[in-house]
Amino acid sequence: MGNSKNALKSPEKISRPALATVPRHVGIIMDGNGRWAKAKKLPRTMGHRQGAENLRHILEAAVDFGIEILTIYAFSTENWNRPKSEVKGLMNLFHYYFDRELDELAKNGVQLRHVGHMAGMSLSLQKKIRKAVEQTKNNNRLILNVAFNYGGRSEIVHAVQAIIKAGIPPEQVTESLFSRYLYTGGQPDPDLIIRTSGELRTSNFLPWQAAYAEYYITPVYWPDFNEAELYKALLEFNRRKRRFGGLNSDE
Ligand code: IPE
Ligand code: IPE
Ligand code: MG
């Protein structure tokens, strides 16, 4: 992150008009690594590697734009269904990424949080995630929720189980109480969800939290989704009229 900072201060960026509104919480479905690689006649793993590289730049850009919380979809509970070799490659990449980036992220004020189930991951990865969360817990420049081994429906089922286990009487189960039992408990809902590579579906990403999020879908593959593309998404967000079921004062 640190070294890439200067590269991001391009004249193009400086001349960009300021945004009237910056979403507090942005979710990204980082999709299209495989197709990016295929288009270049490279193995899919290369796409994942390039996708991880890209994340450093987007994190820096998110901080610069003033986004407070970024939730990235890195590995879904359904992604275990991929060929063993791809899953193994992805797990190795996460290990490598943590080892290489953690100190830099911590230094840059990023607070890491895990959004997803620990069970099912290797013990060494669980340990790394716990350490990263602990090491960065007092940072406040950007909250980075890493949705890893995450599935929205299963998150809801876990929340229901936890509420029952806690012996909470049914009449006390409200929307706000329920939200607190999700992995994002205590955080504001996402305002904007970006999906790269063109698929028009949520793939089980934050079904509860994104009930009123604005969606932005771009055909650009994740490894090519750069700061200028993020700016485009934020501009489009500024054009949206959010109503939350009501009416705005000018309508
Ligand atoms: C997203 O890219 C990364 C993960 C799901 C881990 P994909 O691997 O889904 O890339 P496509 O969709 O096959 O192009
Ligand atoms: C969603 O992408 C999951 C992540 C980006 C981690 P997928 O590539 O797994 O989604 P589907 O299978 O096309 O719906
Ligand atoms: Mg995909």
Asked whether the beta carbons of 136 and 98 are under 8 A apart, the reply is no
User: What tokens appear for 2 in the block?
Assistant: 């640190």
Tens of pLDDT, residue by residue over 52-99, are 999 999 999 999 999 999 999 999 999 999 999 999 999 999 999 999
d(CA 71, CA 190) in angstroms, rounded, equals 8
Ligand 1, atom 6: closest residue by C-alpha: 75
Which ligand number lies closest to the CA of residue 83? Answer: 1
Q: Choose the residue to mutate in 35, 38, 224 for probing ligand 1, maximizing ligand atoms within 8 Å of C-beta.
A: 35
Q: Choose the residue to mutate in 146, 149, 193, 203 for probing ligand 2, maximizing ligand atoms within 8 Å of C-beta.
A: 203
Catalytic annotation, pick one of 64, 79, 189, 224: 79
Q: Over pLDDT 70: what percentage of the chain?
A: 94
d(CA 135, CA 4) in angstroms, rounded, equals 23
Q: Pocket residues for ligand 1 (CB within 6 Å)?
A: 30-35, 75, 79, 90, 197
Asked whether the beta carbons of 95 and 167 are under 8 A apart, the reply is no
More confident residue, 14 or 67: 67
- Minimal CA–CA distance to 157: which of 72, 71, 69, 77? 77
Q: Which position has the token pair 């340990």?
A: 127
Ligand 1, atom 3: closest residue by C-alpha: 31
d(CA 218, CA 198) in angstroms, rounded, equals 5
Which ligand number lies closest to the CA of residue 35? Answer: 1
Q: Given CA atoms 8, 10, 14, 16 in this order, what sign does their dihedral have? A: negative
**DSSP conformation letters of 150-183:** E-HHHHHHHHHHHHHHTT--GGG--HHHHHHTST
Q: Given CA atoms 199, 231, 210, 48 in this order, what sign does their dihedral have? A: positive
Q: State the DSSP code for 140.
A: -
First to last CA, the chain: 43
Q: Output the CA 79–ligand 1 centroid distance in Å.
A: 9
115 strand-pairing partners:
147
Predicted local confidence at residue 16, as pLDDT: 84
Domains and CATH numbers, the chain: 25-236 (3.40.1180.10)
Q: Pick the atom of ligand 2 nearest to 32's CA.
A: 8
Q: What is the band of 13 on the pLDDT scale with cuts at 50, 70, 90?
A: low
Asked whether the beta carbons of 105 and 112 are under 8 A apart, the reply is yes
Ligand 1, atom 13: closest residue by C-alpha: 34
Catalytic residue check, 79: yes
Asked whether the beta carbons of 57 and 223 are under 8 A apart, the reply is no
Asked whether the beta carbons of 219 and 198 are under 8 A apart, the reply is yes
Tens of pLDDT, residue by residue over 153-206, are 999 999 999 999 999 999 999 999 999 999 999 999 999 999 999 999 999 999
